[in-house]
Chain A
């Protein structure tokens, strides 16, 4: 790594102050699993690295708590391993815990943080589609105070977000999930289990007592510049039964939402076909699950 100056302000306001003072030239370091790779390979050159360690006042950015609305707040410095192993996440949002457990390897998950994962905006991160179907939001601190935005509005393209150079992602809020909701998260990783997904899919189905779909969410990772919602496929499910015919028809419509690239995990055409297949599998899994805590 090329030399850089380092500072650990120790408070959110201190971090913001440093970011403001070094407009665009400071890089935030949490677990290091993304930034250190980019620094070593020369894709990022940093004048100044701002350390975010969960010590002192920043300790409150690491951890998970239940909020008054019944949802969960996950601090930005919460490690992926902590998300995976947290009993509240496992009980209320098992699909999120499972997606966390699929990230790379335990030693990477011990370092990587949820805030870092979102701010890095890697479209292959398969936690992000789960957060999309959960309608999760992020809390962002900046010089003018805090703002909230939907996870869906955070990433702009590969490794790009709407965050300003003077802003810090401080937490993720997952609103409560209706007991009737069925959620599933799947990832297709044909090479090894610590690889990035060729395609990952998260779905959420709500149905009335007669089994008619009242709400549907489908989000895909690894098949566009950001995680994407497949809205045409969602719309096709609403008002009908989530049976095999409807699932097959809806999964064909994910084509409209995705724009995969050719790479070592497959050609664009192959990924498109796999996106359909794995969307259908995720929908079938959610439709077949018996309780609201499906996975």
Chain B
């Protein structure tokens, strides 16, 4: 354990000067420390693809990737993403609008019904395939357990993730 003196500038502030990388682009912004990532994304930056559902970490609508790991934007104060890399649903498609294999699979295999859970499902599925390129159905269901679909369209979602895993065009 390091028993160093704290840096001299470590004093409490109500507002933090935040730097992070969002969907591949650097962002610098002064934000209240008590603001949630989901509010920063949706209200301050206009990225409304990330949805806000339960607000207590259960539903998965606000799933985003932070440094590649799927996390819960309603439970992350903005201070948790300082100097980190954040990826939202808006950051998946290529510059020419080309969808990722996961996005294509969701459109082709009935991976959504009303659509409100879809951004979170797609982000979680993207994280799963990055760490386990060929998951079986049990692994898919285990990983997506925190992403609820109240249309109960789970069969289509699982089929979509399986199709994405089998997509040879996946980069």
Contact = CB atoms under 8 A, between A and B. Distances in A.
A107 B37 CA distance: 15
Contacts of A29: 77, 79-80
Contact of B77 (A17, A36, A105): A36
B4 interface: yes
Interface stretch (B67-75, B88-96, B106-114): B67-75
Contacts, number: 140
A47 to B, nearest CB: 9
B156 interface: no
Contacts of B13: 5-7
A14 B36 CA distance: 25
B124 interface: yes
Nearest to B10: A9
Interface in A1-54: 1-14, 17-18, 29, 32-33, 36-37, 39-41, 48-49, 51, 53
- Name which of B7, B75, B146 has the most chain A CB atoms within 10 A of its CB: B75
Interface residues of B, number: 45
Contacts of B36: 1, 36
Contact of B56 (A8, A40, A49, A192): A40
A106 B58 CA distance: 11
B6 A14 contact: yes
B71 A110 contact: yes
A96 interface: no
B70 A170 contact: no
Contact of A37 (B2, B35, B56, B143): B56
B22 interface: no
Given A11-B5, A107-B70, A49 B32 contact: no
B16 interface: yes
Contact of B146 (A5, A14, A107): A107
B72 A12 contact: no
Interface of B: 1-7, 10-14, 16, 32-36, 55-58, 60, 63, 66, 69-72, 74-77, 79-80, 82-83, 124, 127-128, 142-143, 145-147
Interface of A: 1-14, 17-18, 29, 32-33, 36-37, 39-41, 48-49, 51, 53, 55, 57, 60, 81, 104-108, 110-111, 141, 146, 170, 192-194
